[in-house]
Structures are given as structure tokens and as C-alpha cells.
Amino acid sequence: MGRWRFSSEPREAPLREGASICLSCLNVKAGCDPCPDGGSPVQTALAVGLLCAWVGRGPPAPWGRWAGKREERVPGRGSRQPGRRVGLKDIARAADVSPAAVSYALNGTGRLEEGTRQRIIGIAKALGYRANANARNLRRRTSGVLTIAASVPPGLASMLPAMDYVMAIWQAAAAASLKRGFMLLLLPFGVESGELAGIPVDGGIVVDPVKDDPLLRHFARTDAPVVTIGRDLARPAEASWWVDNDHDALVTMALEHLRSRGARRVGAVLAGTGYAYTLAYRRAYEAWCASVGQAPMLVAVDEPATESAGYNAATGLLDRCDPPDAIFASLDRFAVGALFAAAARGLAVPDDLMIVSGNDGVATRSATVPVTALDLSPAELGRIAVDMLIDRIEGADAPRHVIVPGHLEPRASTARGG
């Protein structure tokens, strides 16, 4: 019957029902006759398994029956080899339609009845079908790559990896991109727009853009779609695509929480005015002060967001002749710095001084006195930004603006009776 011949061609070994292989000489022979070269037919089963594993494919059809296993079958007509990627023909056999009809259903083209289209899509999902990304990108003339970046001053670039808010955005955005068949390229912190020249990307996301952001200018020059998390200060809100929180409402919620706990003089430590959210925080704080008849006590920090910067700013407030009995800090690092400043002044938190952070993270949750904080839902911001960007790339209907709700996480730093 000849010898087993190893080949790179994806065809089954030339075995028939009842055939066996001698492990010693690799002769293929009928039944269990002794091998003329002295091999033992008892080792036939092991030989078949080893040979099939060695050539990198499953056992031939007769072996499957000897082992008491059946070939994997696609629901409906026809079958496919185990481990092989589900293709259009597999779906067509299962759905009893042509491969062209499957293509029309999955791509939303052609003239198919909606019921048929949905039935084919359902069968494709049941079979675990995933579109070939390379073929899709060639057909649509896209790269399948998105970028995400944050424009930051050089002094802040080294700190971004430690910011829980930013990392939560990136992790959720990466997962959402993969789910929709795109790769997400995380640009280096503080990257210059000129470094992006020649990189084939389909679109980008910019987190908390600065005024006249160079990355946004780059995307405008290349005519690539872009979505921002936070608003672009250089353009009217209605003229761009963005995902954001209602910062005015959230800050007001935090200040009202302090007032309900008995605060009567609320100070604020805010980041510099280069970002849209910091302008919103300042606007909301000043409006709230006017509504309750309090003179604003505000310190703007124009340096990297560190605990030291928060400590220095809070110390300035606490050294006033009329010091605050509560502090709203726009960033978690500032809030922890305010805790240190209170300890240095011998003030107990929350009895002598209450503190609220404008964003949440490990720093606020694990502080010596856990800090009440605004949860801005960063993972949801990242996911929605990716969906919005891909919808733009694919020409699907999508909202231009999305407001993501946040909420207040009360903790020990404000656990004072009203």
C-alpha cells in the first residue's frame, strides 16, 4: 500500500478503513499483519497520533473513528476540519444559501429580505465567524489601526502612566477597538505631531486636548476622523466630535455634598486653565459661591499634578486669616496633597477639614483617610469614544456629542454630620 509521505499539502493521509502503520518502518499495511521489516502493529495507534501531530494537523478520518470521535460538523449541511477558521462557505452550507448571499448579509449590501439577512447573521455568530481583518481593510482601503494620545506638557508626560483616570480610558478603548476589529495604537506620551507623518491610521482619539492642540491640527491636515475625550477649546462644541462629562453639574454636586455636611467656607485647588474641564470646574465653583453668598477661595496650580503641588496650594489656603473648612481639589493628587497639608497643620480630616477630589483613583481610595471623589466613568468614556470614531470611519450614523454621567463616591474625608 506504500509509505506515509509527509507533505505540506493540506490533504489527509492515504489511509483506508482497517489500515495501520508500523512505528518502526512507517509502512502502511492492511489489518494487523506482521510488518515485513519486523515492526510491531500494536504501536499503530501511537504512530498515527504522533505522525499527525508532527505534520501539524488532526488525524485522518479513519483514526477519528478508531478513537471513537466524530469529525466536527458545521450545523446544517457539510462539515469543516477542526480548528479551521469558519468561512463564508461554511455559513452558506449551514444557512442553505449561496456564499454571495452570506457576503451581502454580513456586509449589509445586496438585496436580501431582512429576515434572511438576520438569519444568516445569527448562524454566523453561532458558528463563531470572524471577518478577515486584512481582507476587510483592503476592500475598504483602511489600515485597521486607530490611535489614542494625550497632549501634555513635557513635565507631565512621565506622570501619565500613573494616572488611573487615563489608564482606565486606554484599557477600555483598547478592548472596544479589538471587539470591533481594529487595533489601537497608544502613542508615546507627549508625542510631537510631526512624528505621526507617514503612519497609516484610520483615525484618532485625543484625551483632554489642550487649546490649539497640535495632534488635532495633525488630524485636520490629514483629513482623518478624530474624536476627543473632553472638548476642544479652539472649536465650538457643536463643530467637533467629543465625549465628555457634565463637569458643571458634577462639581456643583460635590460642593453641595460638602455644604450638606456642614461646610461653610469651601476653598478650591484647581489645575491650570489649559484644559476645557478645568475651565468648567472654575466656572462651576464660582457660580456656586455666588449662589451661596461665599467669596471664592481659589488657587490655580500651573505645574504638574503632584501631591507636592496639592500640598503647597492647600497650605496657601489654610494659612489664610479665614481658612476654609473644606477643600475641593480638581485632581486626585491635589486632594492627597491637601491631606498632607491638613496633617502638617494639625487639622483632623474630616472634623476640622473636609476634602473632595474631582476625579477618583487608587490615590483617593487608598489614602490614610479615604477621600470622597467624583467618579467620571473613564472606562465608559473610552469605550464610547472608540465606537463613535469607528462609526465615523465606517460611515454609520452616530451622535456627534455624548455626555457620560458620573457620580459622587462618599468616603471618610467628608463623613461629618451636617
Tell me the domain boundaries of the chain: 1-70, 75-132, 145-243, 247-377+407-414
Give the pLDDT score at 401. Answer: 95
**Is residue 267 over pLDDT 70?**
yes
Give the residue among 328, 353, 359, 357 at the shortest CA–CA distance from 341.
353
Please calculate the CA angle 61-39-43 and round it to the nearest 5 degrees.
45
Higher-pLDDT residue of 307 and 52 is 307
Determine whether 334 is exposed, middle or buried from the number of CB atoms within 10 Å of its CB (0-12, 13-18, 19+).
Answer: buried
At 188 the pLDDT is 75
The whole-number average pLDDT for the span 327-356 is 97
Tell me which residue of 238, 236, 241 sits closest to 219, measured CA to CA: 241
288 or 62: whose pLDDT is higher?
Answer: 288
**Banded pLDDT at 134 (limits 50, 70, 90):** low
Q: Quick check: do 75-132 and 145-243 share a fold?
A: no
What is the CATH architecture assignment of 145-243?
3-Layer(aba) Sandwich (3.40)
Q: Which of 67-81, 185-199, 264-278, 394-408 is predicted least confidently?
A: 67-81
SS3 track for the chain: CCECCCCCCCCCCCCCCCEEECCCCCEEEECCCCCCCCCCHHHHHHHHHHHHHHCCCCCCHHHHHHCCCCCCCCCCCCCCCCCCCCCHHHHHHHHCCCHHHHHHHHHCCCCCCHHHHHHHHHHHHHCCCCCCHHHHHHHHCCCCEEEEEECCCHHHHCCHHHCHHHHHHHHHHHHHHHHCCCEEEECCCCCCHHHHCCCCCCEEEEECCECCCHHHHHHHHHCCCEEEECCCCCCCHHHCCEEECCHHHHHHHHHHHHHHCCCCCEEEEEECCCEHHHHHHHHHHHHHHHHHCCCCEEEEECCCCCHHHHHHHHHHHHCCCCCCCEEEECCHHHHHHHHHHHHHCCCCCCCCCEEEECCCCHHHHCCCCCCEEEECCHHHHHHHHHHHHHHHHHCCCCCCEEECCCEEECCHHHCCCC
**pLDDT of res. 272:** 81
What pLDDT does 198 receive?
67
Instruction: Round to whole Å and give the CA distance between 327 and 355.
Output: 5
Specify the range with the lowest mean pLDDT, choosing from 32-41, 80-89, 351-360: 32-41
The CATH number of domain 75-132, selected from 3.30.70.100, 3.90.180.10, 3.40.630.10, 1.10.260.40: 1.10.260.40
226 is written with which cell numbers? Answer: 478624530
Q: Which of 2, 9, 20, 19 lies closest to 56, judged by CA? A: 9
Higher pLDDT, 73 or 375: 375
% of the chain residues with pLDDT over 70: 71
385 within 8 A of 205, measured Cβ to Cβ: yes
Query: Cell match 449551514: residue?
Result: 94
pLDDT band at 28 (very low <50, low <70, confident <90, very high): very low
Share of the chain above pLDDT 90, in %: 46
Q: How far apart are CA 369 and CA 268, in angstroms?
A: 19
pLDDT for 46: 42
Name every residue whose Cβ is closer than 8 Å to that of residue 30 and which is 6 or more positions away in sequence.
1, 18, 19, 20
Evaluate if residue 201 carries a pLDDT over 90.
no
Minimum mean pLDDT range among 117-126, 185-194, 254-263, 355-364: 185-194
- Provide the 10 A C-beta neighbour count for residue 33: 10
pLDDT, mean of residues 47-58: 42
Lowest mean pLDDT among 41-45, 236-240, 363-367, 388-392: 41-45
pLDDT band at 129 (very low <50, low <70, confident <90, very high): confident
pLDDT value, residue 346: 97
**Residues contacting 124, CB < 8 A, separation 6+:** 86, 91, 102, 105, 106
pLDDT value of residue 397 = 84
Q: In this predicted structure, which of 96-100, 158-162, 227-231, 313-317 has the lowest mean pLDDT?
A: 158-162
The per-residue pLDDT of the chain, averaged, comes to 79
Q: Which pLDDT belongs to residue 38?
A: 47
Q: What was the pLDDT predicted at 299?
A: 96
Residue 220 has pLDDT above 60, yes or no: yes
From the options 3.40.50.20, 3.40.50.2300, 3.40.920.10, 3.40.50.10140, give the CATH code of 247-377+407-414.
3.40.50.2300
Please compute the mean of the pLDDT values over residues 236-240 and round it to a whole number: 86
Assess whether pLDDT exceeds 60 at residue 230. Answer: yes
